Structure 1
Amino acid sequence: MTLVAERTHAPHPLRGEVVHGFGPWAGAAVLLTLTVTLAASLDQWQGGWAETREHLHTAATLLGAPLALAAGCWHGGRERRRRTEDLMATAARGPLARLLASALPLVLWVVAGYAGAVVLAWLATWYCSMGDSPYPVAVLTDAVVLASAVLAGQVVGRVVAWRLAAPLLAVVAYAVLGVLSYDGQDALGHLSPVVDGTTDDVPVWWQPVAMTVWTGGLAVTAVLAHAARRRGFAVLPLAAAAAAGALLVQTDNAGLWHTGALADRQVCDTSTTPQICVNARYGDLLPQVEDALSGLTGRLEGVRNLPVRFEDRPGEPRRDEAQLPMLAPIGRSVVRGELTEPRRYAWEAGMALYGRAYCSVEETRDWDPVDNAVEHYLAPSPEEAYFDKQLAEGSAADRDRLEDRRAARARLEAMGEAERRAWLSEYFATVDRCEVRGVPTL
C-alpha cells in the first residue's frame, strides 16, 4: 500500500494578526464610537445625504482619527511590552516588512470599522432620503485619513517607550485638530482633515486628492524614515505632502469648495399661486410642502400683486419672489424626511408674503388689525389662541386691540369671493410699505 502524504499549506503570517490580534478590537472601537456619535445627532442628518456626509466626516476625522492614532501607537509598542524586540530584530524580514506586517491588519480593521459606520449611516438616510445622493469621494478621503493615522501612530508607538503615549497622543491629536478646525477660514485650518465647507458645498475635484496626498504623505514619510533600509527615500513622500499642504494653505475657501449643483437648483410646482419651489436637495419633500401650503395658496387663487413664486435658497429672495421657510438645517422643520409642523410652516410662509418685520412697532400700530385679519384668514399662527388670550387678560388697551382684530377678521371673512379677491389684491400692493397711506381698511 502506498501512502500519499497530503500537502498542507501553512497559514499566511498575516492571518493570525487579522483574525486574533488587536485589530478586531480597534475596528470595533471605531465602529462603536462613530455609531454612538452619529446616533446622538440622528435628527440632524437622517434623510439628507449632504447632512449625512457632513456628520460622518466630522465624526470620522475629529474622533476617529485620534482613536486610530492611539490604536496604532498602542499596537506599535507591543514588542517592547512583550520584551521581544531583540528576538524580532534577528528575524529574516527587515524592519519595514515587520512594521507593515504589524500595521496593515490594524489599518484593515480600523477602515472596516469606519466602513461599517458608513453603511449604517447610509442605510439610515436611504429609507427616508429627500433627494440628492451619497458622497463616496468624502468617504474614501476619510478612509485614507484614518489609515494614515494608524501608520503614524504605529511609528510613534515604536519610538516612544511610554505606556501612556497612546492616550496622550489621542488627546493631543484631538486638541490640535480642534484648534485648526475652529476657524475654517484660517489658511492653516485647510490642513486639518476635519475642516469642510458648508452643507451646501462640495469640494473642488482636486481638494480630496490634495488632502489624501497631504495626510498619506506624512504617514508614509514617518514609516520610511523609521523603518526603511534606505531612509533617504522618505524625502519623496515628504515632498509630495509639502506640495499638497502648500496648495491647501494658499487656496482660499472659495477655491476649495463651491456650492453644489443641486443646492443652487430649485424644483417647482407651477400650478399654484404663488408657485412653490424647494431646494433640489430636498426635491422629494415638494408634495409635503404643497400639502402644507394648500390652504394658503388656495385662498390666494385669483389674487393679484403677489410674488411669482416661493423659493428655497440661501440669501435674499430675488425680485418677485418670497422666501419659503428654510428646510435646512434639518432637525427642526424637517425630521427623517417629514415636515414636523405643517401648520407652523404655512404660517411662516404666509408671513413672508405679508409680514412687515422691517417696520417699527409704531409704524404698524395703525394697520395692525388689517395685517392680523389677513394672517388669520390665510394661515393663522399656531399660537393665535394663546396670544388672543394674553390680550384678553391684559390692559384696557390690549383688550381694545383684540376687539379691533376680531372685528377686522369678521369683516374679511364676511366678504364675498370676488370682493375679497379684489380687497386682497389691493392689500398686497402695499405690503412693501411702512406707511399707512394706501393700505385698504376693514
Structure 2
Amino acid sequence: MTTHPLRAEAVRGFAPWAGAAVLLMLGVMLTASSRTWQGGWAETAAQLHHALLIGMPLAAAAGCWQGGRERRRRTEELWGTAVRPPLIRLLASALPVALWVAVGYLVAVALATLATWLYVMGDSPRLTLVPGDAAALAAAALAGHLVGRSVPTTLAAPLLGVAGYVGLGLSADHGWVLDPASYVTTDLRPLWWQPLAMAGWTLGLALALTLAYAARRRATALLPLAAALTAGTLLVQGGSGLWRPDPLAHRQVCDTSTTPAVCVNARYSGMLPEVRAALSGITGKLHGVHGLPARWSDRGAGPRAREAPLPTLAPFGWSVVRGRLTHPDQYAWEAVAALSGHGDCENQPARVQLADEAVQAYLAPNPSQSRFDALDAKGDPAARAHLRASLAARAKLAGMAEQRRRTWLSAYFAARAHCGTEGVPSL
C-alpha cells in the first residue's frame, strides 16, 4: 500500500516536533506560574489564553522553518517537476505543522485542566476560548509557512518568531478585538460565538493568503477572505459587548454560623472552610459583642452597608496558593484591621490608635508585631513612649473580665463608622 504524503509528513516529518515544542514551551511556562492559576478556573483559562503571546510566534517560526525546507535541501527545482499542483504540495507540507501545533496546545489545555481540578475552589471549567486559540495557532503556522517559502534566508524563522513576539506584546494591552492574543480578565466571560468568530478571522486570513500564493485560480482566495472579513466585522461591531461580566464574580457564598458571617466570592466557594477556619479565633472572641458588621465580604470593591471587607483572595500566588491560605495568621490580622473601620481615617488621635492596636492584638495579633515593637524600643523617645502606652493598653484589654471586655468591645465597634474619638472607649 502506498502511504499518503500527508500522513508521512504528519507522522515522520518535522510537524510532530513542532507540536512537541509548543507543548514543552507551554508546559514550562504554566509550571513556572502555577502558583498564580492552579485552583481557579477563570485564572487557568486566562493563563492558557495569554500563552498565545509565546505560542503564536513559536508556531509561526515552526511553519516558517518548514516552509524553507526545500530551499535548504536544494530540491526546489526537483519538487517543481512533481505532477501534483503547487497548492497540494504546499498543503501537504504546511497542514501537518499547523495541526500539530494546535494538538500541542490542546494537550497543554488538558493537562492544565487536570492540574486545576486537583485544587478546584469552585466555579466550573472555562474552555470557551480554546477553539479560537487553537485556530489562531494553526493560522500562525500556516502564515509562517508562506513566509518561509517567500523569504530566501535561513534566519527567516527566528526573525519571524521575534517579530511576532514583539508585535503581540505591544498590542496585547490595547484590547484590540481583532487581536487573537489580547489580554483578558478573570471577571469577564466571552459570548459563545466570540471564539468561533475569532477562529474564522484568523483561519480565513491564513487560507486566503495560502490560496492567493499557490492556487491556480487565485480568485478562490476571495471565499476565505470574505469569511474572514465577515468574522472581523462581527468582532469589531461587537466591541466590548463581546464580553459579559461573570455572574459568579458578583455573588457571595456565606457561612452564617458565625458573627460576623463569613462570605467569599462565589468563584472561590471552596475556600470558605479555609477562610472560616482562619477567622475562627476572631469570631470566638467576638461572641456576644454588639455593634459588629453583619458580615465579612469578598467583593473586590467597596463593601456594602453593614459589611467589612475581607482580604482579597485574588490574584493567586500571594495569600492563596493551590486552594490554601499561605499565611492564615496574616489573613486574620488583615481581616481584623478591616473590621475596625478606621483604616481610612487619617491622623487619628493617640487614644484611638491605642484602642485599635489593643483590639487587633487581642483578636488577631500582627505576625510581625514583635519585630515592630523591637524597632520602637530602639527608636526615639516618642516611639518608646508610644510602645509603653500600647503595651499597657493591650495588657489591660486582655486582662479584663469577660463581661466587661464584651461591653468595651461593643462600645468600640459601635463607634467604628466614625473618625476621631467620638464614642471610642478609653483604656
Length-normalised TM-score, structure 1 = 0.92
Give the corresponding residue for 2:70: 79
2:231 matches 1:239: no
Q: 1:393 Cα deviation (Å)?
A: 2.1
Give the corresponding residue for 2:392: 407
Instruction: Write out aligned runs for 1:164-179 (5 A).
Output: 164-179=155-170
Q: CA-to-partner distance for each residue in 1:241-281, whole Å, 9 max, x for gaps?
A: 2232233334443x132221222222110111111111122
2:135 matches 1:149: no
Whole-Å separation in 2 of the counterparts to 1:390 and 1:178? 45
Whole-Å separation in 2 of the counterparts to 1:318 and 1:268? 15
Q: SS of 1:65's equivalent?
A: helix
Q: SS of 1:277's equivalent?
A: strand
Cα gap change, 1:72/1:418 in structure 2, threshold over 3 Å: closer, same or farther?
Answer: same
Aligned partner letter, 1:421? R
Whole-Å separation in 1 of the counterparts to 2:243 and 2:304? 24
2:13 matches 1:21: yes
Tell me, which stretches of 5 or more residues in structure 2 are unaligned?
none
Instruction: Write out aligned runs for 1:93-172 (5 A).
Output: 93-172=84-163
Instruction: Write out aligned runs for 1:7-406 (5 A).
Output: 9-59=1-51, 61-184=52-175, 189-253=176-240, 255-361=241-347, 363-406=348-391
- Report if aligned partners of 1:181, 1:192 keep a CA contact under 8 Å in 2: yes
Aligned partner letter, 1:66? P
Q: 1:37 Cα deviation (Å)?
A: 1.4
Whole-Å separation in 2 of the counterparts to 1:88 and 1:163? 19
Aligned partner letter, 1:57? H
Length-normalised TM-score, structure 2 = 0.95
- Report if aligned partners of 1:197, 1:203 keep a CA contact under 8 Å in 2: no
Q: SS of 1:222's equivalent?
A: helix
- Report if aligned partners of 1:391, 1:398 keep a CA contact under 8 Å in 2: yes
Q: CA-to-partner distance for each residue in 1:388-411, whole Å, 9 max, x for gaps?
A: 222222222222212222222222
Q: 1:218 Cα deviation (Å)?
A: 0.7
- Report if aligned partners of 1:364, 1:434 keep a CA contact under 8 Å in 2: no
Q: 1:35 Cα deviation (Å)?
A: 1.1
Q: 1:66 Cα deviation (Å)?
A: 0.7
Whole-Å separation in 1 of the counterparts to 2:39 and 2:139? 31
- Report if aligned partners of 1:306, 1:428 keep a CA contact under 8 Å in 2: yes
Q: 1:346 Cα deviation (Å)?
A: 0.4
- Report if aligned partners of 2:408, 2:425 keep a CA contact under 8 Å in 1: yes
- Report if aligned partners of 2:336, 2:360 keep a CA contact under 8 Å in 1: yes
Aligned partner letter, 2:154? R
Q: 1:365 Cα deviation (Å)?
A: 2.2
Whole-Å separation in 1 of the counterparts to 2:239 and 2:129? 20
The range that moved more, 255-264 or 380-389, is 255-264
Q: 1:236 Cα deviation (Å)?
A: 2.1
Q: SS of 1:191's equivalent?
A: coil
Cα gap change, 1:364/1:224 in structure 2, threshold over 3 Å: closer, same or farther?
Answer: farther
Whole-Å separation in 1 of the counterparts to 2:153 and 2:395? 80
Aligned partner letter, 1:352? A
Q: Name the count of aligned residue pairs.
A: 427
- Report if aligned partners of 2:131, 2:196 keep a CA contact under 8 Å in 1: no
Q: CA-to-partner distance for each residue in 1:64-118, whole Å, 9 max, x for gaps?
A: 1111111111111222332333333333322222111111221222122212322
Whole-Å separation in 2 of the counterparts to 1:138 and 1:333? 28
Q: SS of 1:278's equivalent?
A: strand
User: Identity across aligned pairs (percent)?
Assistant: 58
